[in-house]
Amino acid sequence: MEISPMLSEKANDIFKILEAAVVREDTPGFAAFYMENQHSQTVYGGTIDYVEKVTSSSLYDLASLTKVVGTTTRILQLIDREEISLSDSIGVFFPMLEELKLTIEDLLLHRAGFPADFTDKTDFSQEFFWNFLKKINLPLPNERHTIYSDIGYLLLGEIIEKIDGCGLEESFRTHVFEPLGMVSTTYFPDESSAVPTEITLSRGKIKGIVHDGKAYLWEKEAGHAGLFSTIGDLETFVRAVFSGDILSDELLTTLQTFEVSGRTLGWLSRSAGQLYHTGFTGGVICLDLLQMRALVVLSNRTYPNRENKSYICVRQDIIEKFFESEI
């Protein structure tokens, strides 16, 4: 693999880590984008299924990257436009949930007090979800701790639908993807371009359909997972974050300075301006807003079996390398 001479040794190290992961079969393949000092490079490695090579048109299941690319972005846009505020109670949108005493900010920061996941997901459905919320007893606000949970993002997705008056596919396409030129990002991918995510007894080969179990049973677009995208579209996304084409300068400043328990609004936060998020299928987006640096890696480490977890350590090595101090 030939690395652009305009990029640092750090970029070279990250690409080498990814290449080694493919050789060890930690993941079938990857698509990666690295940017620093206005210079960038996109690299492809391996295959999507140990046969067909990864290309620029390979559509990856973003899993929880849906949270930042779609749901967080749209919520922050609505805040920018003063249609909602961080302090708004979810009871404004769903009066039957007023007693939970939760705000938009609580959901973005994963500090609502929700469990990490539902204990029993065998009968998961929209009805199950709303009944769960009506019955749950949350800790008092001053006793709540940060717990990463899909539940809050399912609820944020419902809030977006309520405000925009349409499903998340239409909302994100209208307000985020089309204005930026993200032509391939969707909840409903062309199966011929989709990268497979797993082979299971219950669902067979999962390809072109959301991998996440709750999103699969949700029967419509979900706020926590379900988007598919290409590396090119995510390059467009991160460039738009830096250029201010998505969010105002005020909100970008907030993302750089506001941090609670290692999180900012929708993102994990390493330190001032250093944001990242991961997805179960293997993806990661890293942003250094102050240094104008970005890394996006897409993979399907869950194929053919999610129990192959060695790539998770590889991804953490990549995150550490990206944010590693140059001093």
Model confidence, pTM? 0.97
* Structure confidence at residue 37 as a pLDDT band (50, 70, 90): confident
Higher pLDDT pick, 327 / 55: 55
Spatial neighbors of 231 by CB under 8 A, at least 6 apart, are 31, 32, 33, 42, 44, 56, 58, 60, 296, 298
For residues 316 and 322, what is the distance between their CA atoms, to the nearest angstrom?
10
For residues 72 and 77, what is the distance between their CA atoms, to the nearest angstrom?
9
Q: Do residues 34 and 14 touch, judged by C-beta distance below 8 A? A: yes
Residue 100 lies in a domain: yes
The DSSP call for residue 100 is G
The DSSP call for residue 67 is I
| Residue 145, SS3 per DSSP | coil
Q: What is the CATH number of the domain that holds 94?
A: 3.40.710.10
For residues 122 and 143, what is the distance between their CA atoms, to the nearest angstrom?
30
| Residue 264, SS3 per DSSP | coil
Q: Is the pLDDT at 142 greater than 90, yes or no?
A: no
Q: Is the pLDDT at 327 greater than 70, yes or no?
A: no
Residue 37 lies in a domain: yes
Give the number of domains in the chain: 1
For residues 91 and 99, what is the distance between their CA atoms, to the nearest angstrom?
8
Q: Is the pLDDT at 326 greater than 70, yes or no?
A: no
pLDDT digits (tens, 9 = 90+) for 147-193: 999 999 999 999 999 999 999 999 999 999 999 999 999 999 999 99
For residues 228 and 221, what is the distance between their CA atoms, to the nearest angstrom?
12
Q: Mean pLDDT over residues 291-312, rounded?
A: 96
| Residue 276, SS3 per DSSP | strand
Residue 29 lies in a domain: yes
For 121, other C-beta atoms within 10 Å of its C-beta total 12
For residues 16 and 37, what is the distance between their CA atoms, to the nearest angstrom?
21
Residue 2 lies in a domain: no
pLDDT digits (tens, 9 = 90+) for 186-216: 999 999 999 999 999 999 999 999 999 999 9
Distances (CA, A) of 231 to 43, 55, 61, 97, 268: 9, 9, 11, 38, 21
Task: Give residue 63's domain range.
Answer: 9-17+25-287+298-323
Strands 293-299 and 29-36, how do they pair?
antiparallel
Residue 293 lies in a domain: no
For residues 115 and 103, what is the distance between their CA atoms, to the nearest angstrom?
17
* Structure confidence at residue 119 as a pLDDT band (50, 70, 90): confident
- Cα atoms found within 13 Å of the Cα of residue 174, Cβ hemisphere only: 10
- Torsions phi, psi for 44 (to 5 deg): -120, 140
Tokens of 224: 């926590």
pLDDT digits (tens, 9 = 90+) for 69-99: 999 999 999 999 999 999 999 999 999 999 9
| Residue 51, SS3 per DSSP | coil
For residues 288 and 276, what is the distance between their CA atoms, to the nearest angstrom?
9
| Residue 27, SS3 per DSSP | coil
* Structure confidence at residue 1 as a pLDDT band (50, 70, 90): low
Residue 1 lies in a domain: no
For 229, other C-beta atoms within 10 Å of its C-beta total 27
State the chain's mean pLDDT as an integer. Answer: 95
Question: What's the pLDDT score for residue 140?
Answer: 85
Please identify which residue in the block is written with the tokens 């960038």.
Answer: 40
Tokens of 121: 């997901």
Q: Do residues 196 and 52 touch, judged by C-beta distance below 8 A? A: no
Question: What's the pLDDT score for residue 10?
Answer: 94
